[in-house]
Structure 1
Amino acid sequence: MLYLKKLIPFLLIIWLVPAALQAQNNNQLSREDLERRKRELQKEIDEANQALKETKRSTRESLGQLRALRNKIYLRTRLINNINEEITFINRDINTAYRDVKTLQKDLDTLKAQYAQLVVYAYKNRSAYDMLNFVFSAQSFNDAIRRYQYLKQYRDYRRRQADNIVETQELLNKKIAHLQGQKEKRAQTLESEQEQRKTLEEDKKEKDEVLSKLKGREKELLADINKRKKDAQQVQSAIRAVIRREIEEARRKAEAEELARRKAAEERRRREEAARKAAAAAAAANNTATVAAPPPAETPKPAPVEETPAPRSSNVLEATPEALALSEGFENNRGKLPWPVTNGNIIGHFGRQHHAVMERINVENDGIIIATSKGAAVRAIFEGEVRRVMVIPGSGYVVMIRHGQYFTNYVRLQTVTVKTGDKVRTSQMIGTASTNDIENQGEVELQIYKGTAKQNPEYWIMKR
């Protein structure tokens, strides 16, 4: 019983230390996520810096510079928030380490005190004669065996207590070293957070300067807005005209197939009626003959014609199995479609948006405008068939690809590598992005239509 009582503190250490280490591991996993997110944000900031560098090659301030600066500010704010979350985890880890150090120090003191008592007791009973006397003074042989086993267990327990002290001291030293490392990391992270805040203030100052200069050119910007609006209307009119022609052609084709099917059914009905009348006439003639003839074989009934299952909707753009499969495949990849360019960021969102400088003016986008490098490869976001390649003044080349009842339109292309009627694969190159000379960067616009209804491409392509 005495042995078990003295063993309880050691058992508590065995239980507490792994629990503390497990809590540390759980925090470490979360901090690894924060580290990964910080690397991703830093990569995006580097890309924004490169975009800003490209736009600064222009001799005048531009909307591209303003957008790049605002994007940098947004990303750097997210990075600062991420660093603050990391500091919170570090502080939590430091507090946990403090508690673990205190617990281990207390347990170590307890073990040392107990071990000191053992040493004192062993010193007082160090005589081999006293030990032998303790064993041989037993009243029976079994009692002597039990006394001998007790002495042996006592020596083993004292040795284990010494080992426990060494192990606890090592754990304590490791925890203290970890605590010191966390303090140093917190100091470095705080320094990094301060540097990011300083850079953020510089970015905001630069953004305000660019915005102030751009507001002095409102007439020029308003003229550019009106020109882009006119160009967008031309693009939309041309796209809607092509879609209407596609729908009309599909309707005419479906009507022609239905007419042919009805004519074939009518012709089959006529042949069956003629065969029935001929069989009846032959049967009547046979009844008047002197010699009975075997009855005529029954005219086989035509096999029932299986009705073609109706499509999921009355949309004529899905009248064929191939078109239906493309529509379903396109829908099944909603939110997972690739971007039309490898590197880029959205500078014009879908629908009605406030102008970047003149916020009292709204601009309407039929798709999303993506800034990329000049001459960047533009790729199809899904397999389909090229239905039209057009050139529209002010908007460059426009490529329309049909995917069943869906159409993806790639506007503002500088060159194209496909032609009408081509079958394209997902991520196949179809052209290159045009160049915005004022902002000194590449641009491409992606539009998605379901029939004649515009869709928000940001809901269809992958998140970045």
Structure 2
Amino acid sequence: MIGINYSRPLLFLFVLFLGFNVTNAQTNRDELEKRRIELRNEISRINELRISNQKKQRSVLGQVEDLNQQIKSTEDLIKLTNQQANLLTREINTNTNKIGQLRKELEQLKEDYARMIRRSYKSKSQQSRIMFLLSSKNFLQAYKRLQYMKQYTEYRKQQGEEIKANTAQLQELNSRLVQQKEEKEQLIAENRKTRAELEKNRRSQQELMATIKKREGQFAAQIRQKQNEIDEIDRAIERMIRESIAKSNEESGSSSRDTYELTPAAKALAADFNNNKGKLPWPVRSGVVTMKYGKQRHPVVRSVMVNNNGVRIDTDEGGKARAVFNGTVSEVQAVKGANKAVMVRHGDYITIYNNLETVYVKRGDVVVTEQEIGEIATSRTTGKTTLHFLLYKNNQKMDPADWIYRM
């Protein structure tokens, strides 16, 4: 009878398990690489904006804010690159172990095959296959011997194919291992360069912070004054929202100023908007969030608390604001201290695009996702082109970062 090696099914399961892990690791690595490219692009955007702003702005605070953004993104990039390198290290170790296991299996296969060939040769020298069949006691025995000979021949062929397949797999793994080691070295070299850039930016940051420290009280007063102006703008926007709700509800016979009375079509639009939470496009083609939502310490003068009802996004001069979802323009208003604001309604959700120099839409216009609705104003004082983007459900403000893809 043909000897059966029961370790092979176990090896097959082992290789299958490793293959699954490699596939899973590859998926993780692809995701990390995608995020790394995004971070590098973000750093490039920040750097371009910072260089552009340096030529225009006289504000030390603004320069430090820009540097802080770049430092934060660079730190994120270094952290992510380290994750990639660690993942590659694990993959290299996995493949090294797999190569060792395959080599052992290949040696065993070759030994089995050689033993089989020797046995076959001896069998041929002692008696021919025909004599082996003719010496059968009866037809049934002859039939069984014939089947055995067929199985034996097939098994030899299978062993040869298995050796060939394992050899090819071993060569592929060796090639992959070399590639992974090269990728890891490249990541390490890139991290070294990124760290050098980070240290350079930190030195610049420290120099600017030393200047701020000498006049911290003065800067704190400026920030508080600016926050008062922002609060006034936010109150104006909230009044605009209440008036819009009241105006819409008046048309439908309701007196509510807090929530929209929705038609079936408006309910469907709101549901569609809600289903896209976390997947909405950015309200600018290219930009960097310079101030997040909510109460927070000022990024430079840490002793001062500031508040933001939305997010502030710096973009290129001449940058356009874009609708993040299908909707209807419900208001276009000039806001004191913030140029113009466009309010787009998506059922009972509202998106507001504030600080527009030029507006391309009017009240009642239907807009579609990523449609340009206006050009963002550039500050003469700071040289920055900043969109203030807000998101509400009825009159309840919400964090745009929860809704916009990777904000």
Give the structure 1 partner of residue 256 of structure 2. Answer: 315
- 1:171 and 2:169 correspond: yes
Residue deviations 1:402-449 (CA, integer Å, cap 9, x gap): 778776554433233456x55453555443222123432212323456
Distance in 1, matches of 2:168 and 2:209, equals 60
SS at 1:94 equivalent = helix
- 1:435 and 2:378 correspond: yes
Give the structure 1 partner of residue 367 of structure 2. Answer: 425
Distance in 2, matches of 1:179 and 1:73, equals 34
Q: Per the alignment, do residues 20 and 210 of structure 1 end up closer, same or farther by CA in structure 2, a change over 3 Å counting?
A: same
Q: Given the alignment, which residue of 25, 28, 34 partners 1:27?
A: 25
Q: Gaps (5+ residues) in structure 2?
A: none
Contact kept, 8 Å, 1:250 with 1:317, in 2: the verdict is no
Residue deviations 1:137-193 (CA, integer Å, cap 9, x gap): 444454455445545544444444344333333333333333333233322233333
Give the structure 2 partner of residue 390 of structure 1. Answer: 334
Distance in 2, matches of 1:181 and 1:113, equals 31
Give the structure 1 partner of residue 93 of structure 2. Answer: 95
Alignment map for 1:316-335 (pairs within 5 Å): 316=257, 329-330=269-270, 333-334=273-274, 335=277
Q: Given the alignment, which residue of 98, 102, 105 partners 1:104?
A: 102
Contact kept, 8 Å, 1:63 with 1:356, in 2: the verdict is no
TM-score under structure 2 length normalisation: 0.79
- Give the residue type in structure 1 aligned to 2:203: K
Give the structure 2 partner of residue 231 of structure 1. Answer: 229
Contact kept, 8 Å, 2:260 with 2:394, in 1: the verdict is no
Q: Per the alignment, do residues 211 and 12 of structure 1 end up closer, same or farther by CA in structure 2, a change over 3 Å counting?
A: same
Q: Given the alignment, which residue of 191, 210, 221 partners 1:193?
A: 191
Aligned length: 402
Give the structure 1 partner of residue 61 of structure 2. Answer: 63
Distance in 1, matches of 2:78 and 2:17, equals 32
Q: Per the alignment, do residues 83 and 149 of structure 1 end up closer, same or farther by CA in structure 2, a change over 3 Å counting?
A: same
Distance in 1, matches of 2:248 and 2:143, equals 102
Give the structure 2 partner of residue 205 of structure 1. Answer: 203
Contact kept, 8 Å, 2:294 with 2:307, in 1: the verdict is yes
Contact kept, 8 Å, 1:378 with 1:432, in 2: the verdict is yes
Shift, 1:315, TM fit: 1.4
Contact kept, 8 Å, 1:377 with 1:433, in 2: the verdict is yes
Give the structure 2 partner of residue 221 of structure 1. Answer: 219
Distance in 1, matches of 2:129 and 2:35, equals 67
Residue deviations 1:15-58 (CA, integer Å, cap 9, x gap): 54444333322222222222222222222222222222222223
Q: Gaps (5+ residues) in structure 1?
A: 259-310
TM-score under structure 1 length normalisation: 0.71
SS at 1:443 equivalent = strand
Q: Which has the larger radius of gyration?
A: 1
Contact kept, 8 Å, 1:61 with 1:210, in 2: the verdict is no
Contact kept, 8 Å, 1:327 with 1:403, in 2: the verdict is no
Give the structure 2 partner of residue 413 of structure 1. Answer: 356
Contact kept, 8 Å, 1:63 with 1:439, in 2: the verdict is no
Q: Per the alignment, do residues 100 and 215 of structure 1 end up closer, same or farther by CA in structure 2, a change over 3 Å counting?
A: same
Give the structure 1 partner of residue 320 of structure 2. Answer: 377
Distance in 2, matches of 1:9 and 1:101, equals 17
Give the structure 2 partner of residue 38 of structure 1. Answer: 36
- 1:359 and 2:357 correspond: no
Alignment map for 1:101-140 (pairs within 5 Å): 101-127=99-125, 129=127, 134-140=132-138
Distance in 1, matches of 2:13 and 2:394, equals 66
Q: Per the alignment, do residues 188 and 407 of structure 1 end up closer, same or farther by CA in structure 2, a change over 3 Å counting?
A: closer
Q: Which moved more, 1:92-101 or 1:210-219?
A: 210-219
Contact kept, 8 Å, 1:384 with 1:424, in 2: the verdict is yes
Give the structure 1 partner of residue 71 of structure 2. Answer: 73
Q: Which moved more, 1:216-225 or 1:352-361?
A: 216-225
Distance in 2, matches of 1:428 and 1:202, equals 40
Note the aligned Cα RMSD (angstroms).
3.9
Distance in 1, matches of 2:318 and 2:241, equals 28
- Give the residue type in structure 2 aligned to 1:170: A
Q: Per the alignment, do residues 41 and 119 of structure 1 end up closer, same or farther by CA in structure 2, a change over 3 Å counting?
A: same
Q: Per the alignment, do residues 225 and 182 of structure 1 end up closer, same or farther by CA in structure 2, a change over 3 Å counting?
A: closer
Distance in 1, matches of 2:101 and 2:261, equals 74
